[in-house]
Amino acid sequence: MSLSALISFSNPLSPAFHRSLALKSPNYSVSAAPVACLNVDVRAPVSKQNPSIHEKRSSEIIADDNKYIVGSYARTPVVLSSGKGCNLYDIEGREYLDLTSGIAVNALGHGDPDWVRAVTQQADVLTHVSNIFYSVPQVELAKRLVSGSFADRVFFCNSGTEANEAAIKFSRKFQRFSHPDEKDPPVGFVAFKNCFHGRTMGALALTSKENYRSPFEPVMPGVTFLEYGNTEAAVEFIRSGKIAAVFVEPIQGEGGVYSATKEFLQALRTACDDIGCLLVFDEVQCGLGRTGYLWAHEAYRVYPDIMTVAKPLAGGLPIGAVLVTEKVASSINFGDHGSTFAGNPLVCTAAIAVLDKIANPTFLAGVGEKGNYFKDLLVEKLGGNSHVKEIRGFGLIIGVELDVPASPLVDACQKAGLLILTAGKGNVVRIVPPLIISKEEVERAVEILAGCFPVLDD
Ligand SMILES: Cc1ncc(COP(=O)(O)O)c(C=O)c1O
């Protein structure tokens, strides 16, 4: 390589430098390379660039992903590079209306300016210190979570599955603490059919889908799956067993968007109280404003001993939290649980920025209204379709159950510029848009979705 070629390759302003970065990083876009110092914008508008080059770039990135990344994800063949509000853009510049929110994470949409400001300012000051020190954002976030919920204390972690993992440990520890003289304190757990609590070994043991668990058996023993919504069976079982805790999603997300009834949750509460077992609400997907209530269980006026939250809390940065009553917290000692990254200043600052918006009653009321509007529109446009068995949901977590697999519809929508998810046995379209979605975007989404339905007849 000649000296000039070498210089141009390592020059951060050179196109070759940015191409090399793009090859190393799928998220790095050549078209986004800084050019301001050249005083001319040499970027061609994405739409005017040669489409065949972009096809190649996408397919190259997908090929590299297939080569270098452990193949545990069946990905949609789209390479996303930027987002704003409810829109996402792939590296070819195609725009998508995002009803997935990174699986119910991006509650404020993409690139919320207040969130971006809070995160960049905090990153400039202090990102991580570990939990051997105190830090202001962690305490501040915990105070806000406590003042806005049933809980007295918070434990931070990094994801939904970790939050449930911590809740499992806290439940066992609570039972040991409450039965100091018993050789065999209650250690069993109840979870429900169609539930999803995560992929790590404890949370996996509580997750009902057989094919998630069976390749990894033996998982944690002592979990019984009962029918979601069957009050009588649940009460009878809880009263008869040595149960440490009952784990339940007030609204099942992955399982197919099923909402509990008040009677069911209330009966679980009473049965747990009767035998001294803990009630854990997993609000990882349905919590934090998605239902139009800050916490889904507020709609039922039934309160847990422990609640696990994660996904939207830090607006896209990894966080999980376990909210507990003092009764539970008092059984936890130094060293019982911990995490290096959990609750660091950056992620907690991000979460404060999210909570500041979501916890606002006007914002929450808007979510409820938009959810009703979305569901009504779906019923109006799709209610008569022979493939639609049910349209259900709560706020902005909506399921459209089909009599056939939803994947052809998901693919057709993606090609038409709409991103949606599936749930249940793959026959439910799951709609979890950013909570900031506008009514116009709801209308556009329903129009695209309805327009793609004929693909189900092919
Ligand atoms: C209700 C529920 N609990 C737990 C989890 C696991 O969360 P994570 O993927 O952050 O580990 C999920 C993820 O979808 C979920 O929906």
Cβ pair 164, 311 in contact under 8 A? no
Q: How far is CA 439 from CA 89, 367, 369, 374, 453, in A?
A: 21, 11, 10, 8, 21
CATH of the domain at 312: 3.40.640.10
Is position 245 within any domain?
Answer: yes
Per-residue pLDDT of the chain (458 residues; tens, 9 = 90+): 333 333 333 333 333 333 333 333 333 333 333 222 222 233 333 444 444 445 568 999 999 999 999 999 999 999 999 999 999 999 999 999 999 999 999 999 999 999 999 999 999 999 999 999 999 999 999 999 999 999 999 999 999 999 999 999 999 999 999 999 999 999 999 999 999 999 999 999 999 999 999 999 999 999 999 999 999 999 999 998 799 999 999 999 999 999 999 999 999 999 999 999 999 999 999 999 999 999 999 999 999 999 999 999 999 999 999 999 999 999 999 999 999 999 999 999 999 999 999 999 999 999 999 999 999 999 999 999 999 999 999 999 999 999 999 999 999 999 999 999 999 999 999 999 999 999 999 999 999 999 999 999 98
How close is the Cα of 43 to the center of ligand 1, in Å? 40
The values of phi and psi at residue 113, to 5°, are -60, -35
| pTM check: above 0.85 | yes
The values of phi and psi at residue 200, to 5°, are -80, 165
Which two three-digit tokens encode residue 61? 């990135």
Atom nearest to 159 CA in ligand 1: 10
How close is the Cα of 54 to the center of ligand 1, in Å? 34
CATH of the domain at 66: 3.90.1150.10
* Cα–Cα distance measured from residue 417 to residue 374, given in angstroms and rounded to the nearest whole number: 18
* Cα–Cα distance measured from residue 189 to residue 224, given in angstroms and rounded to the nearest whole number: 6
**Domain termination site, one of 359, 381, 414:** 359
Check residue 56 and give its pLDDT: 62
**Domain termination site, one of 359, 378, 402:** 359
* Structural domain span for residue 175: 113-359
Check residue 2 and give its pLDDT: 35
How close is the Cα of 282 to the center of ligand 1, in Å? 9
Residues 160 and 252 occupy one common structural domain: yes
Atom nearest to 283 CA in ligand 1: 1
- Residue 308: exposure state from Cβ atoms within 10 A (0-12, 13-18, ≥19): buried
Atom nearest to 320 CA in ligand 1: 10
* Cα–Cα distance measured from residue 296 to residue 289, given in angstroms and rounded to the nearest whole number: 8
* Cα–Cα distance measured from residue 89 to residue 98, given in angstroms and rounded to the nearest whole number: 10
How close is the Cα of 196 to the center of ligand 1, in Å? 7
How close is the Cα of 12 to the center of ligand 1, in Å? 40
Is position 272 within any domain?
Answer: yes
Nearest CA to ligand 1 atom 9: 160
Where does 209-302 have alpha helices with state H?
A: 210-213, 231-240, 262-275
CA dihedral (105, 364, 86, 387) in degrees, to 10, reads 80
Atom nearest to 200 CA in ligand 1: 11
Amino acid at 360: N
* Cα–Cα distance measured from residue 322 to residue 251, given in angstroms and rounded to the nearest whole number: 18
Is position 4 within any domain?
Answer: no
Is position 32 within any domain?
Answer: no
**Domain termination site, one of 342, 359, 376:** 359
Cβ pair 231, 263 in contact under 8 A? yes
